[in-house]
Amino acid sequence: GAVVSQHPSRVICKSGTSVKIECRSLDFQATTMFWYRQFPKKSLMLMATSNEGSKATYEQGVEKDKFLINHASLTLSTLTVTSAHPEDSSFYICSARPRSVTDTQYFGPGTRLTVL
């Protein structure tokens, strides 16, 4: 149980394009989903927290107009990187917190974004 999927697993795009990443909880309802970014050999950095049906809460320094988050259902959240630039190249990981277990989270496999 507690499986979280992400799609795509890897994406390469041109500078200036937008990329959408999907995060799904496959066998549980997730009241909260988290989006993280990880640069090589660095720790996970929380970008934003999203609750189903409400606006995401962004961490300091994360541009909400650049990283659009939609959490339309209890099993799906999307992150759209708008007008991507090479410095946005990173490993993006989502996690989901089950409705029934509030103090833990399960991670998706991550999406590796490369912006050329």
* 32: nearest Cα among 2, 77, 63: 77
Asked if 98 is part of the footprint of another protein (rule: CB under 8 A), the reply reads no
Residues in the chain, total = 116
Interface residue with another protein among 20, 66, 99, 112 (CB under 8 A) is: 112
- The nearer residue to another protein, 1 or 14, going by C-beta atoms, is 1
In the chain, what's the furthest Cα-to-Cα distance? 41
- The nearer residue to another protein, 51 or 80, going by C-beta atoms, is 51
Q: Give whole-number Cα distances, 21 to 41, 92, 99, 104, in Å.
A: 22, 9, 22, 22
- The nearer residue to another protein, 70 or 82, going by C-beta atoms, is 70
End-to-end CA distance of the chain: 37
The 41-80 contact track toward another protein, x by CB under 8 A, reads: -xxx-x--x-x-----------------------------
Interface residue with another protein among 93, 96, 113, 115 (CB under 8 A) is: 93
Interface residue with another protein among 21, 108, 113, 115 (CB under 8 A) is: 108
Rounded CA-CA distance 18/34 in Å is 20
